[in-house]
Chains A and B, each alone.
Chain A
């Protein structure tokens, strides 16, 4: 074996340094969530635990004081799941449908309509809070998981439409015509021809929507009720509680729990993510 060249050493050295830099917070969170509280308050945050324990995790999950109830994060975790899954599925499907219509069933002023939908991507959350609260009140959805999901669907459709429209505009129209001659209708073309060929962009849309909706705090805090608040709001209530001792180890465990699902989505679907973002931009 030949000795590695100095430039290689420099490159890998720098990469290693940055990796370390980014992994440090995770390291701190994980190690401290596995220590008894005394070890944190009494000393070194960076040290490994002297006594390993899962108690902070169990406490954060099922017994920690959230607001007025000692319920742990568990019910809020399920609130989040119940909100995220339908919101991601429905907004992605609607985006695909919009993209399909805007590229393959062109109509008068369709680009104008698309432009207006794009606008929704630039509207800050704060602006829609009051009108949305009014709307949810009128429809009787205020404070429900369904209401929260609806807010996220409405907000997400602009993005998902953008993704799918750009993807489908590079999709050959001759395929749609061939399917028409073969006798497929509007929906059959969508389900049988368009959607099965949309893997990469669906991954992008799902990751984007999942991350945004799961991590959202503002809508959750504004429109969530005690039995519909998502994980992010509950985590805030856990960490911000003003009574008793601050259980930092429990807080760390709770924070990791709140971050795990998005990490999982990235790990599972991440390798398609870049491919999907690039799709259509380069002729392949």
Chain B
């Protein structure tokens, strides 16, 4: 049995279903990220694991104990909120130890654990301040300290970085990852940012419209997206989807260009969407020998420092290609892109599902 199990969990408000039969399994020490656009039900699922919202049907179990009717404080979980939710009337020290006090941990033990956490997060000099006197990053640390001091089975993070500015977000992201590696804690993390999901997680659940679209390791999700939604949601710039006709082991574009498929699906001729990520394109000079080429008319060049993005019309589809920073490419000119077909995905145009 898994450490944290979500078995066929649904949630409905009246007649509207916001979550449809979610099944997830998290092992001890996993870093699970729930990622999806706003309104996909990810925070609702997190709140149900926390016990802040009732489960409509199905079961949530931590360490093989079914938690459906267990009060939040008895689940041995800790949560970091998006707004940090620090008690404004208490000092940092009181904020951190409040949970221990409520669980009747004796004072010497409380102080000892608070010092450990303060040292770990380097907030020792802030202990006597109030939340209003802290910066965003400091509040974030205190909120994490309040969770860490409890030594819970599962940490729940609800979009903890979304209130920070871009630079601090990257720093705190690294710190959370470090913390996870150091403590080996089990983390259940909700975000709408696919970069956070990719960088932090050991497992990702991509959600949309109340369904788990795909559940797997970051590599599985990125390299073998289960459907068009996952393919376009994960990765930036998004995966290019070219309408093609699959026939005789080849994908034929709208303008007649033919590409040999590495693993062509069996069966008769059919319509499909050919999924190629921007980095699956390369300038011919940089590419390995023998990669198939696609001709396209470049419309825009976006130099991003480390790379250059080229937007081009290929077939009748606007595609983004990630080229080397010094690639010789001109807007308005025709260009040949080498395509790594081994990494391409094929999707059914009607259902959006991946074709194997």
Residue of B nearest to A195 (CB): B89
CA distance A197 to B88 in the complex (A): 7
Establish whether residues B79 and A178, one from each chain, have CB atoms under 8 Å apart when the complex forms. Answer: yes
Q: Does B304 contact A (CB under 8 A)?
A: no
**Interface residue from B79, B82, B83, B88 paired with A181 (Cβ < 8 Å):** B79
Residues of chain B lying within 8 A (CB to CB) of residue A192: 87, 98
A244 interface hit (Cβ, 8 Å): no
The verdict on A196 contacting B102 (CB below 8 Å), with A181-B50, A181-B79 known, is no
| A-contacting residues, B73-97, CB 8 Å | 73, 77-79, 81-83, 85, 87-89
Interface check A41, CB cutoff 8 A: no
Q: Is there contact, CB below 8 Å, between A196 and B89? A: yes
Q: Which of A182-190, A205-213, A252-260 contacts B (4 or more CB under 8 A)?
A: A182-190
Contact (Cβ within 8 A) B88 A182: no
Complex Cα spacing A174 to B57, Å:
25
Interface of chain B: mostly helix, strand, loop or mixed: loop
The 0/1 profile, CB within 8 Å of A marked 1, for residues 135-165 of chain B is: 0000000000010001000000000000000
- With a CB–CB cut-off of 8 A, which chain A residues contact B87? 175, 178-179, 192-193, 197
Interchain CA distance A174-B102 in the complex, whole Å: 18
User: Does A131 lie at the interface of the complex (its beta carbon under 8 Å from any beta carbon of B)?
Assistant: no
Tell me whether A177 is interfacial, beta carbon within 8 Å: yes
Contact of B102 among A175, A182, A197 (CB under 8 A): A182
Is A177's CB under 8 angstroms from B73's CB? no
Please tell me if the beta carbons of A180 and B52 are within 8 angstroms of each other in the complex.
yes
Which residues of A in the span 209-266 have a Cβ within 8 Å of any Cβ on B? none
Interface residues on B, range: 20 to 34
Among A174, A177, A184, A197, which residue has its beta carbon within 8 angstroms of that of B98? A184
With A181-B73, A183-B103 as given contacts, are A193 and B89 in contact (CB-CB < 8 Å)? Answer: yes
Partner of A184, one of B81, B102, B146: B102
**A179: B residues at CB distance < 8 A:** 87, 98
Instruction: Name the CB-closest residue of A to B147.
Output: A181
Q: Which residue, of A174, A178, A192, has the highest number of chain B Cβ atoms within 10 A?
A: A178
The CB with the most chain B CB atoms within 10 A, among A177, A181, A192, is that of A181
Residues in A147-205 with C-beta less than 8 Å from chain B: 172, 174-175, 177-184, 188, 192-193, 196-197
The one of A174, A177, A182, A193 in contact with B99, judged by C-beta atoms closer than 8 angstroms, is A182
Q: Given the complex, which residues of A lie within 8 Å of B72, measured CB to CB?
A: 177, 180-181
* A174 CB contacts on chain B under 8 angstroms: 81-83, 85
Secondary structure class of chain A's binding surface, majority of residues: helix
Tell me the minimal C-beta distance from A20 to chain B in angstroms. Answer: 42
B77 and A181 within 8 A (CB): yes
On chain A, the residues within 8 Å of B78 by CB distance are 181
Given contacts A174-B81, A177-B85, A193-B89, contact A182 B50 (CB under 8 A): no
Q: Are A183 and B102 in contact (CB under 8 A)?
A: yes
User: Which A residues lie within 8 Å of B79 (CB)?
Assistant: 177-178, 181
CB distance from B78 to the nearest CB of A (A): 7
Contact present for B83 and A172 (CB under 8 Å): yes
A182: chain B residues at CB < 8 Å are: 73, 98-99, 102, 146, 150
Complex Cα gap A175–B82 (Å): 11
In the complex, A197 Cα to B87 Cα: how many Å?
9
Q: How far is the CA of A174 from the CA of B83 in the complex (A)?
A: 8
Residues of chain B lying within 8 A (CB to CB) of residue A193: 87, 89
Q: List residues of chain A with CB under 8 Å of any chain B CB.
A: 172, 174-175, 177-184, 188, 192-193, 196-197
The 9 closest A-B pairs by CB, nearest first: A183-B73, A183-B102, A182-B99, A196-B89, A178-B85, A174-B85, A174-B81, A181-B72, A175-B85
What are some 23 contacts across the A-B interface (CB < 8 A)?
A172-B83, A172-B85, A174-B81, A175-B85, A175-B87, A175-B88, A177-B85, A178-B146, A180-B52, A181-B50, A181-B77, A181-B78, A181-B79, A182-B73, A182-B99, A182-B102, A182-B150, A183-B73, A183-B102, A184-B73, A193-B87, A196-B89, A197-B89
Known: A177-B79, A181-B99. 19 other contacts (CB 8 A): A172-B83, A174-B83, A174-B85, A175-B87, A177-B72, A178-B79, A178-B85, A178-B87, A180-B73, A181-B50, A181-B52, A181-B72, A181-B73, A181-B77, A181-B78, A183-B73, A183-B103, A184-B98, A197-B88
